């Protein structure tokens, strides 16, 4: 697969933005209660599949700074990739951006079950409560990201990300 320089640049920018947003808000990004604003970038997969790799890479780099270390890199990055891959394939034939975002959002929110399991086994946190709080933080970030993407579409700027 040949990747053009322009595509690679967009991927690198999104991965970098993910890391910067996460590290800037690091106290909110790790643990049982997470509001990782960078998770809004998951919805970019509704615009172009290239962002599966970009967001996964951003997540993995960010998780290098996690108190859980390499385990969080593997579990968090792996669950992000799987959720985005499934979300993309379930949504790719839907004509509506909103429908694609909802499908991808549902997949990544369900994917937070892996983070809850990780925190349950390693940090001995209660599974269902942890899943609820991590999923709620995911939904908050996704709603914000969804609003931003819909505004970009309305102002005709979304095509810059395609």
For residue 128, give its domain range. 5-160
Q: What percent of the chain has pLDDT over 90?
A: 86
The neighbour count for residue 104, using CB atoms within 10 Å, is 26
Residue 140 is predicted with a pLDDT of 97
- C-alpha 76/C-alpha 62 separation (Å) is 10
Residue 1 has pLDDT above 70, yes or no: no
pTM comes to 0.93
pLDDT mean over 25-47 = 92
- pLDDT for 76-100, tens place per residue? 999 999 999 999 999 999 999 999 9
Q: How many domains are contained in the chain? A: 1
What is the distance between the alpha carbons of residues 122 and 54, in angstroms, rounded to a whole number? 27
The pLDDT-based confidence of 148 (bands split at 50, 70, 90) is very high
pLDDT score recorded for residue 66: 94
Cα–Cα dist 84/46, whole Å: 10
Where residue 88 sits, what CATH number does that domain have?
A: 1.10.1760
Average pLDDT taken over every residue of the chain:
95
Q: What is the pLDDT of residue 32?
A: 80
What angle do helix axes 5-24 and 51-63 make, rounded to 10 degrees? 40
């Amino acid at each position: 697969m040949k990747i053009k320089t322009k595509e690679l640049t967009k991927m690198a920018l999104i991965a970098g933005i993910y890391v910067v947003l996460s590290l800037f808000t690091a106290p909110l990004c790790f643990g049982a209660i997470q509001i990782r604003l960078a998770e809004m970038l998951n919805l970019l997969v509704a615009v172009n599949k290239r962002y599966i790799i970009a967001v996964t890479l951003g997540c993995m780099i960010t998780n290098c700074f996690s108190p859980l270390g390499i385990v969080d890199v593997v579990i968090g990055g792996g669950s992000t990739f799987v959720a985005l891959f499934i979300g993309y394939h379930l949504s790719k034939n839907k004509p509506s951006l909103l429908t694609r975002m909802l499908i991808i959002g549902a997949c990544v929110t369900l994917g937070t079950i892996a983070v809850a399991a990780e925190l349950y086994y390693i940090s001995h946190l209660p599974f269902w409560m942890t899943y609820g709080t991590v999923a709620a933080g995911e939904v908050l970030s996704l709603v914000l990201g969804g609003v931003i993407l819909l505004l970009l579409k309305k102002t005709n700027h979304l095509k810059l990300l395609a």
